[in-house]
Amino acid sequence: MSIKAENLTHIYNKGLAYETKAVDDVSFTAEDGEFIGIIGHTGSGKSTLIQHLNGILKPESGRIFIDDIEITSKNVKMTQIRKRVGLVFQYPEYQLFEETVLRDISFGPKNLGLSDDEVVERAMEAMRLVGLDFETYAERSPFELSGGQKRRAAIAGVIAMRPDVLILDEPTAGLDPKAHEDILNMIRSVKERAGGIVVLVSHNMGDIAEMTDRVLVMDGGKLVRDGAPAEIFADEEFLKGIGLGVPPAARMANVLAAGGLASDRSVLTLGDLTDFLANRLGGAGGGADDETPEVSR
């Protein structure tokens, strides 16, 4: 499983006075097992970029390959792409429409032309993965769930299609801290169990630092940086210049460094920060290791 994007360009309102280049000559490749974060200020072209990855939008120029299939070519079947690439839009709960949660989650697998047994089995699995109890919620109307539960049901609708690539566009936007943490944990467990590639678009630098192992930075439709989180977040000036920032833990470390308490290695996550402080304070240290401490944000 791999994604390869070559010189992607997308133009909105082509030929009109308000024509805009939303994606401008973007190239990257992603290999199996990668967890990729995409950051960029509002309107930097993140959402437009990811909509190309499952064929919802066609590029003005450039090509995309999912494995060996060129999904930008005209004669490729859309179901072939959607089976491989699952895309969870912003506020996915607004796409719920069925009478019961189970039937809504089954919508995707059914469109893939699977047998009824297979559909229900996949829906059950998806509900387990997102942490919605089957007995309790399967027959409830999706419209009477809470905000966080609705979001999880909607994400389950995409996961049930068992995509090799799962793309999530700001999956935690507008959720309370508990629901936020639940969604992140859910994404982690989906990644652990299903493998493949996960792409997370987020404005929360802390989440990106905690979750991903590679970060793409978008600005003005261009891919301006591509690297490991430690590398990307090392340049706070640059990120601030394009309307972004660094994770809270990194900010804290920078403030400490300005006060004369510098760390010898980069601090990105709360785990890093606790390790560093524990070492500096002469404590046992490493108690948390890479474990994320249970801190609400």
Least Å distance between CB 10 and another protein?
14
Q: Nearer Cβ to another protein, position 190 or 253? A: 190
Neighbouring residues of 97: CB distance < 8 A, sequence distance ≥ 6: 104, 107, 142
Residue 199 in contact with residue 168, Cβ under 8 Å? yes
Compute how many other C-beta atoms are within 10 angstroms of the C-beta atom of residue 13.
10
Which one of 2, 95, 254, 266 is in contact with another protein (CB under 8 A)? 95
Smallest distance, another protein to C-beta of residue 13, A: 7
> Applying CB under 8 A, does 240 fall inside the site for another protein?
no
Determine the interface stretch with another protein among 107-115, 145-153, 190-198, 236-244 (rule: CB under 8 A). Answer: 107-115
**What is the secondary structure of 96-127 as a DSSP string?**
--SSSHHHHHHHHHHHTT--HHHHHHHHHHHH
Residue closer to another protein by CB (options 30, 105) is: 105
> For another protein, which is the closer residue by CB, 78 or 262?
78
Candidates 87, 197, 268, 270; binder of another protein (CB under 8 A) is 87
Pick out residues in 115-134 that bind another protein (CB under 8 A): none
Q: Which strands sit side by side in the sheet containing 69-70, from one edge to the other?
A: 20-31, 2-12, 61-66, 69-70
Binding residues among 31-70 for another protein as defined by CB under 8 A? 51, 54, 56
Using alpha carbons, select from 92, 83, 80 the residue that is nearest to residue 162.
Answer: 83
Contact 64, 4 (CB under 8 A): yes
284 lies in the binding site for another protein (CB under 8 A): no
Interaction of residue 158 with another protein, rule CB under 8 A: yes
- Which range binds another protein by CB under 8 A, 109-117, 180-188, 218-226, 242-250? 109-117
Residue span binding another protein (CB under 8 A) among the ranges 8-16, 129-137, 259-267, 271-279: 8-16
**Region label for 33, one of left (φ > 0), alpha (ψ between -120 and 50) or beta (otherwise):** left
Give the strand pairing for 85-88 and 69-70: unpaired
Tokens found for residue 218: 């978008």
Q: Is 223 in the site for another protein (CB under 8 A)?
A: no
Q: Cα 224 vs. chain centroid, distance in angstroms?
A: 19
**In the complex, least distance from residue 89 CB atom to another protein, rounded to whole angstroms:** 5
Of 31, 58, 94, 136, the one binding another protein (CB under 8 A) is 94
Rounded (10°) CA dihedral 218, 221, 222, 226: 20
176 binding another protein? (CB under 8 A): no
Residues that bind another protein (CB under 8 A): 13, 15-18, 51, 54, 56, 78-79, 82, 86-89, 92, 94-97, 107-108, 110-112, 143, 157-158, 161
